[in-house]
Amino acid sequence: MLITPSLVLFYVAGALTLGGALVVVLSRNIVYAAFGLLASMMGVAGLFLLAFAEFLALAQVLIYGGAIVIVILFALMLTRIEDFENLSDHPQWPIAAVVAIAVFGVIAATIAATAAPASERQGLSFTALGRSLFTDWAVAFEVASLVLLVALIGAVVMVRSGGDRD
């Protein structure tokens, strides 16, 4: 087996993604979990770069790596510590672990049974992507933005009607 630079970068990005995900799941400190999420998102962006999906890598870094993690950290800073004093582990975690292992087994078996395509990799220009996004997929793009707007309004309504403290 020939070890190429792209294979090495794939393993590094994969290890960063999986390591960050493990920190998110196993960390008892929410701040460490947020930084683990950031590391995992950067690993996913690296995987997108290896797949010649530069736009997705850029969106991954800007939206998930930047905005989402910052919002999580701001929410943590604005939350009272008394709200977290009575938290404990959920008693159904063994069932969740068995289901997660089963789903992992199904995904791993599917990957092992699927042959990798032997075609040449090629990138897509930002111009072609933008043209396709705003001509062929314009309706789906607008529907997605409306769904996000409704979710945002619903979150604001739920928070505002949840309590009387300001």
CA distance 12 to 22: 15
What residue spans define the domains of the chain?
A: 1-80, 124-166
Q: How far apart are CA 153 and CA 166, in angstroms?
A: 18
| Residue-level pLDDT at 76 | 75
pLDDT value, residue 117: 73
Domain spanning 1-80: which CATH class is it, in words?
mainly alpha
pTM over 0.85: no
Give the CA-trace dihedral at 36, 106, 120, 134, to 10 degrees. -70
Mean pLDDT by 10 residues, the chain (166 residues): 86 95 88 89 93 87 82 74 67 89 95 81 78 86 87 78 55
Instruction: State residue 85's pLDDT score.
Output: 66
The whole-angstrom separation of Cα 18 and Cα 133 is 30
With H, G, I as helix, E, B as strand and everything else as coil, classify residue 3.
coil
**Alpha carbon separation from 132 to 13, 55, 147 (Å, rounded):** 28, 13, 21
Question: Which pLDDT belongs to residue 82?
Answer: 67
Residue carrying the six token digits 């993690």: 69
DSSP per residue over 24-78, as a string? HHH-SSHHHHHHHHHHHHHHHHHHHHHTT-HHHHHHIIIIIIIIIHHHHHHHHHH
